[in-house]
Amino acid sequence: MLENLSDYKIILGSNSPRRKELLSALDIPFEIKTLPDVDESYPATLWKEEIPVYLAKFKAQAYENFLQDDTLLITADTIVWLSGKVYGKPENEEDAKNILRILSGKTHEVITGVCMTSKQKQKAFYAVTHVKFAPLKEEEIDYYVEKYKPYDKAGAYGVQEWIGYIGVESVKGSFYNVMGLPVRMLYMYLKEW
């Protein structure tokens, strides 16, 4: 479908299995290149959608030496935002449980920043999805965290896992964005590239 990309070697700069799965669904050939320990800190002055866009661009900078004339790099970062606060990946089991207690019974925003980078140009964008959680019981939170260990997920949950099935009341916006990549929006930008 994306004939305009036929001269590009597409690289996904992520070790997220969900992003790999979602990009694969677009039926475009790509390879994965991951770098160890890319710093995910950001200036405290950034607000909401500025944070994942900044981090997606920052991750792209780490791949600068790998870019060839025919390379198109895709990097992304996802955060959960509630009441003016970022909930990223939990540090440990207790942190994961605490984050889920905070999200329980509330609507939060999942924001993914995506950055498309070649040697010639760069395009960054973001998507926002509103996710409403039902009130979660303590034993449900314990069960999910202990069994699924969501330490690599923003907001300490995967919408496509058990907690999503039993806890998510509604999703307004891109479901795939909540998984980590707003694929429809990415497809639109890839078509224009």
| Amino acid identity at 117 | T
User: 3-state SS of the chain: helix, strand, coil percent to 5?
Assistant: 40, 25, 35
* Separation between Cα atoms, residue 189 and residue 193, nearest integer Å: 6
User: Which residue(s) pair with 172 in the sheet?
Assistant: 130
Phi, psi of 29 (to 5 degrees): -70, 140
How many beta carbons lie within 10 A of that of residue 59, not counting itself?
Answer: 23
Longest Cα–Cα distance in the chain? 53
Query: Per DSSP, which regions of 45-185 are E strands?
Result: 71-82, 85-87, 107-117, 122-133, 168-172
77 in active site: yes
Residue from 39, 69, 70, 77 carrying the catalytic annotation = 77
* Separation between Cα atoms, residue 15 and residue 35, nearest integer Å: 9
Catalytic (active-site) positions: 77
